[in-house]
């Protein structure tokens, strides 16, 4: 073979080899890119202290974390059970750290123990708390600076595959009225939509984020502010241009199970919410291709479907819970009363609580016309009532106040289906600005303020000339409405559910414009509730005794008269 032919052969071989290497390079590059263009994000919302579900959820999320996923909470994690409330959220914060949560958006119930407790929880937790629209506020000063002492605006996660993910946390601005006003006198929540757009622009243009998602403690309809009255199970009519700024939205607060895309001008934007109490984990997979982000998969994963878990994390979280529960075991399992039927959360339990408050007010020597509370969180089953079950129904530490309010406020309040009463005096409640009445009411209702920060349930209480007085008990720091109800049940021992499940003169709000002749219920002897037949026997016995005394007296009088007459005749 000539040198020229040899050179041509080598050149052809080199070209083929180079071509093969290029093809392989493209293949390897495609494979490598396929590994770097996907982001998986999991989120839970409105967990409300459901510690029994946390080990399995933590094990599932920890396993996804090891696969490179991002793990979020969209708020209302702690408030709701004795197991969580007793440590003010510390137990579940520790569990979330073990599971590897990347961030938690603050919800309205994170404020239920006050700002100082929230700050303490934040300072001692390795999990960033998010709340981009939480700002300092003063009644005279108005809006101040961003509340960076409570939360971060966003976090940025740099994944092993090289992608940068920005996570913005916000809560609904209207939720200021869902928090006892005494806890939020120095902060407020700005409308979140413009803040999201501003921060998303910053994350993409200045922080070089490939993906931006929102974790919102708010429902999708409120978030996009489309102004339409739609069912929460349906998608918003518009993304409010959010699709131009963010790639997915995890929602919360309304407790609905939601998973739907909303058509925007640029792309479909997925909105997800997993219900409440850990019943679902929300999931979205985002694909990134030449800077374009699309949601290739999104769904809610039911608790029963959480498999392929990290068993070590599950066991570690279970151990944390068991150790914490050991400190309250006796108290939470204490049987404090019995009931023959289920007491529902919307009417029966609130009426029971009102009766308990009225009973304690009487013990304290106050005279009131009405006791008023709002709905409970859950029902009480028939049979034994444990303190843990009562705690779940009444998880809030609401104090009870004696206040003087106008009849107009009372009649307007009575029209609210969320408020229950126990009528005490039987006085007619006039729909008037000048007629005032004494009530016992929980602080959440008494001090409730509108979004504009004005008292909107009982404003007359603050210009009546009577300073509201809290109910207290010696040796108890905060004698809240749950403790009052517990002590009432302990005293009653057994209650008849019909007293609270059925409307009676004590609870009928439609009778407030009339004078009421109120029966005394329940009838008690010591710590026992007497059934109707026992009361009937007592009454019958009393009638027999009285009749016998009368008959004996009449006979004795007649005999005496006869004896006297005989003596007179003999004389």
What's the whole-number mean pLDDT along residues 277-283?
98
What's the whole-number mean pLDDT along residues 427-447?
97
What's the whole-number mean pLDDT along residues 451-460?
93
For residues 424 and 551, the model is more confident at 424
DSSP string for 8-42 = HHHHHHHHHHHHHHHHHHHHHHHHHHHHHSEEEEE
pLDDT in the model for residue 547: 80
What's the whole-number mean pLDDT along residues 27-51?
74
Shared domain for 296 and 382, answered yes or no, is no
Domain end call among 294, 326, 358? 326
pLDDT in the model for residue 151: 97
Per-residue pLDDT tens for 296-328? Answer: 999 999 999 999 999 999 999 999 999 999 999
Statement: residue 71 has pLDDT above 80: yes
Asked if residues 268 and 222 have their Cβ atoms less than 8 Å apart, the reply is no
Shared domain for 139 and 208, answered yes or no, is yes
Statement: residue 209 has pLDDT above 90: yes
Shared domain for 497 and 438, answered yes or no, is yes
pLDDT in the model for residue 248: 98
Whether 22 is covered by a domain: the verdict is no
> CB neighbours (10 Å) of residue 501?
16
Angle formed at CA 188 by CA 187 and CA 191, multiple of 5 degrees: 155
pLDDT in the model for residue 8: 54
Name residues whose C-beta falls within 8 Å of residue 210's C-beta, 6 or more positions apart in sequence: 163, 164, 165, 288, 291, 293
20: confidence class by pLDDT, cuts 50, 70, 90: very low
Bridge partners, 401 (sequence order): 441, 470
Domain end call among 326, 357, 388? 326
pLDDT in the model for residue 527: 37
What's the whole-number mean pLDDT along residues 7-31?
46
Shared domain for 169 and 286, answered yes or no, is yes
Shared domain for 197 and 220, answered yes or no, is yes
**CA distance to 500, 501, 522, 529, per residue, from 497 (Å):** 6, 6, 11, 12
Asked if residues 316 and 90 have their Cβ atoms less than 8 Å apart, the reply is no
pLDDT in the model for residue 254: 95
Shared domain for 355 and 386, answered yes or no, is yes
Residue in the structure block whose two tokens are 């209207």: 174
Phi, psi at 285, each rounded to 5°: -115, 125
Tell me the pairing of strands 383-386 and 335-339.
antiparallel
Shared domain for 377 and 440, answered yes or no, is yes
CATH number at residue 155: 3.60.21.10
pLDDT in the model for residue 273: 98
Burial of 239 (0-12, 13-18, 19+ CB in 10 A): buried
For residues 213 and 34, the model is more confident at 213
Lowest-pLDDT range, 33-42, 287-296, 534-543?
534-543
pLDDT in the model for residue 565: 52
Whether 20 is covered by a domain: the verdict is no
Shared domain for 298 and 355, answered yes or no, is no
Q: How far apart are CA 261 and CA 251, in angstroms?
A: 13
pLDDT in the model for residue 234: 82
**CA distance to 65, 244, 257, 280, 570, per residue, from 299 (Å):** 18, 22, 10, 10, 112
Shared domain for 174 and 297, answered yes or no, is yes
Domain end call among 305, 326, 347? 326
Whether 183 is covered by a domain: the verdict is yes
What's the whole-number mean pLDDT along residues 347-368?
97
Statement: residue 431 has pLDDT above 70: yes
SS3 track for 35-100 = HHCEEEEEEECCCCCCHHHHHHHHHHHHHHHHCCCEEEECCCCCCCCHHHHCCCCHHHHHHHHHHC
Whether 537 is covered by a domain: the verdict is no
Statement: residue 258 has pLDDT above 50: yes
Statement: residue 244 has pLDDT above 80: yes
Shared domain for 177 and 43, answered yes or no, is yes
Statement: residue 267 has pLDDT above 70: yes
560: confidence class by pLDDT, cuts 50, 70, 90: low
Per-residue pLDDT tens for 123-154? Answer: 999 999 999 999 999 989 999 999 999 999 99
DSSP string for 417-437 = TTEEEEE-S-----S-SS-EE
Name residues whose C-beta falls within 8 Å of residue 551's C-beta, 6 or more positions apart in sequence: none
Per-residue pLDDT tens for 146-185? Answer: 999 999 999 999 999 999 999 999 999 999 999 999 899 9
| Structural element, H or E, at residue 443 | helix 443-446
For residues 339 and 238, the model is more confident at 339
Domains in the chain: how many in total? 3
Lowest-pLDDT range, 4-8, 19-23, 186-190, 243-247?
19-23
What's the whole-number mean pLDDT along residues 52-58?
98
What is this structure's pTM?
A: 0.83
pLDDT in the model for residue 543: 74
Per-residue pLDDT tens for 89-123? Answer: 999 999 999 999 999 999 999 999 999 999 999 99
Statement: residue 376 has pLDDT above 70: yes
Where in the sequence is the domain holding 407, given as residue range(s)? Answer: 333-529
pLDDT in the model for residue 534: 55
Give the up-direction half-sphere exposure of residue 26: CA atoms within 13 A in the CB hemisphere.
5
Whether 25 is covered by a domain: the verdict is no
Shared domain for 242 and 387, answered yes or no, is no
What's the whole-number mean pLDDT along residues 339-360?
97
What's the whole-number mean pLDDT along residues 46-60?
98
Q: How far apart are CA 226 and CA 424, in angstroms?
A: 45
CATH number at residue 506: 3.90.780.10
Average pLDDT value for the chain: 89
Shared domain for 429 and 321, answered yes or no, is no
Whether 290 is covered by a domain: the verdict is yes
Phi, psi at 4, each rounded to 5°: -65, -45
Whether 18 is covered by a domain: the verdict is no
Whether 17 is covered by a domain: the verdict is no
């Amino acid at each position: 073979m000539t040198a020229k032919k040899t050179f041509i052969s080598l050149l052809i071989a080199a070209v083929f080899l180079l071509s093969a290497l290029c093809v392989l390079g493209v293949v390897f590059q495609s494979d490598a890119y396929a590994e770097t263009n996907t982001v998986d994000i999991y989120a839970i919302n409105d967990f409300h202290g459901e510690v029994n579900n946390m080990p399995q959820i933590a094990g599932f999320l920890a396993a996804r974390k090891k696969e490179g996923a991002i793990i979020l909470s969209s708020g209302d994690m702690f408030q709701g059970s004795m197991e969580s409330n007793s440590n003010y959220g510390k137990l579940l914060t520790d569990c979330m750290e073990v599971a590897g949560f990347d961030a938690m958006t603050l919800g309205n119930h994170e404020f239920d123990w006050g700002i100082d407790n929230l700050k303490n929880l934040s300072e001692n937790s390795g999990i960033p708390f998010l709340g981009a629209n939480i700002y300092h506020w003063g009644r005279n000063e108005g809006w101040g600076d961003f509340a960076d002492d409570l939360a971060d605006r966003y976090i940025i996660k740099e994944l092993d595959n090289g992608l940068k993910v920005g996570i913005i946390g916000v809560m609904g601005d209207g939720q200021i009225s869902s928090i006892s006003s005494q806890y939020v006198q120095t902060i407020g929540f700005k409308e979140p939509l413009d803040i999201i757009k501003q921060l998303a622009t910053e994350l993409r243009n200045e922080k070089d984020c490939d993906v931006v998602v929102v974790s919102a403690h708010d429902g999708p309809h409120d978030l996009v502010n489309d102004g339409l009255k739609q069912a929460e199970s349906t998608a918003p009519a518009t993304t409010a241009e959010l699709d131009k700024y963010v790639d997915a939205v995890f929602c919360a607060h309304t407790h609905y199970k939601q998973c739907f895309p909303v058509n925007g001008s640029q792309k479909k934007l997925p909105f997800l919410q997993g219900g409440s109490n850990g019943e679902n984990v929300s999931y979205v997979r985002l694909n990134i291709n030449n800077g374009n982000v699309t949601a290739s998969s999104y769904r809610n994963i039911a608790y029963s479907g959480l498999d392929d878990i990290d068993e070590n994390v599950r066991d570690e979280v279970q151990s944390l819970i068991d150790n914490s529960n050991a400190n309250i075991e006796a108290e939470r399992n204490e049987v404090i009363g019995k009931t023959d039927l289920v007491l529902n959360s919307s009417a029966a339990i609130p009426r029971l609580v009102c009766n308990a408050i009225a009973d304690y007010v009487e013990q304290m020597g106050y005279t009131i016309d009405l006791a008023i509370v709002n709905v409970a969180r859950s029902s009480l089953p028939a049979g034994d009532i444990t303190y843990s079950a009562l705690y779940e129904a009444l998880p809030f530490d609401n104090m009870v106040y004696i206040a003087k309010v106008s009849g107009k406020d009372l009649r307007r309040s009575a029209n609210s289906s969320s408020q229950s009463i126990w009528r005490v005096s039987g006085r007619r409640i006039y729909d008037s600005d000048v007629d005032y009445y004494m009530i016992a009411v929980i602080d959440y209702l008494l001090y409730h303020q509108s979004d504009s920060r004005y008292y909107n349930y009982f404003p007359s209480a603050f210009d009546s000339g009577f300073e509201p007085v809290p109910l207290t008990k010696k040796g108890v720091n905060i004698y809240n409405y749950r403790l009052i109800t517990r002590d009432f049940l302990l005293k009653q021992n057994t209650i008849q559910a019909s007293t609270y499940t059925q409307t009676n003169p004590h609870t009928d709000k439609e009778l407030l414009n009339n004078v009421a002749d109120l029966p005394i219920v329940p009838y008690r002897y010591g710590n026992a509730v007497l059934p109707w037949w026992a009361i009937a026997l007592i009454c019958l016995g009393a009638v027999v005794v009285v009749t016998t005394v009368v008959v004996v007296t009449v006979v004795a009088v007649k005999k005496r008269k006869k004896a006297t007459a005989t003596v007179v005749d003999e004389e």
